[in-house]
Amino acid sequence: MAVIIKSPAEIEAMKEAGRVSAKVLRMLGDLIEPGISTLELDHQAEAIIRMEGGRPAFKGYFGFPGSICASINDTIVHGIPSKDIILQEGDIISIDTGAIIDGWVGDNAYTYLCGEVDPDVAKLCKVTEESMWAGISKAVPEGRLGDIGHAVQSIAEAAGFKVVREYVGHGVGRNMHEDPNVPNYGKAGKGLRLVEGMVIAIEPMVNMKSHKTKRMKDGWTVKTVDGLPSAHYEKTVAITADGPLILTQE
């Protein structure tokens, strides 16, 4: 599949899906507290998305049951919402969610801290978010895909952390996952040339110690092999003549 370039009008149209995706992610953040289940967060997410006239982008995607991916501590991504998974003081939770509006998809994620979190784990989150912003800053015309991955990887590894290899960012449009793949590692100046009209999700997944992952028997949940925490942040970004334009914002 080739990269699908969006016109300025199409990028404008994508802003509404992005706005709702950002709104639901922010509102879920207000609900993070010990005792809440990830299924409750999922129900709230779907309600907010539908109230805004959207459809949950994740629900039914290759059979995924939820409107969010809820990934706690050593779960990297794709955690299935469950009434039996209850947030505890000191947990971190990556919530990944998106809305479809007028056929366009928004996709974003944030790792929330539940109460008082171990300082090393809090640092992992802070660094991962910084690495995302570093990657976003490279989403400019005439740049290369490798510039983004290199920027993310440099920030994460300078802090002693490791970036996940098996799961990567992606193009976004009328489909949640389009070309190109957007790795969180790479060489500056290498890879696909970035051009105006590309829309990509930049989403570093950063592990405390080992970058290695394992997938659980449910077919979705991805965890760190060493059982240590992982953080995950994501925004949908359009590459424009004026620079990176964050679409998942209110």
Q: How far is CA 122 from the centre of its chain?
A: 18
Q: Which residue has the tokens 């998974």?
A: 85
Which of 94/240 has CB closer to Mg ion? 94
Smallest separation, CB 247 to Mg ion (Å): 13
Terminus-to-terminus CA distance in the chain, angstroms? 31
Nearest residue to the partner Mg ion, using Cβ: 201
In the numeric block, the tokens 């997938």 are attached to 215
Contacting Mg ion within 230-249 (CB under 5 A): none
- Tell me the pairing of strands 178-182 and 162-163: unpaired
Q: Which is nearer to Mg ion, 144 or 170 (CB)?
A: 170
C-beta closer to Mg ion: residue 1 or 9: 1
What is the tally of helices (H) and strands (E) in the chain? 4, 17
- For residue 57, what is the DSSP state? S
Told to check if 178 binds Mg ion by CB under 5 A, we report: no
Q: Which is nearer to Mg ion, 120 or 166 (CB)?
A: 166
Question: Could you say which residues in the range 106-165 bind Mg ion, by CB under 5 A?
Answer: 107
Question: With CB under 5 A as the contact rule, which of the stretches 22-30, 99-107, 184-192, 219-227 interacts with Mg ion?
Answer: 99-107
Amino acid identity at 189: G
Q: Does 201 engage in binding with Mg ion (CB under 5 A)?
A: yes
Residue type at position 231: A
Task: State which residue, 147 or 234, has the beta carbon closest to Mg ion.
Answer: 234
Whether 207 and 214 have beta carbons less than 8 Å apart is answered as no
Neighbours of 26 (CB within 10 A): 14
Closest approach of Mg ion to the CB of residue 203, in Å? 5
Q: How far is the CB of 201 from Mg ion (least distance, A)?
A: 4
- Residues in contact with Mg ion by CB under 5 A are 107, 201
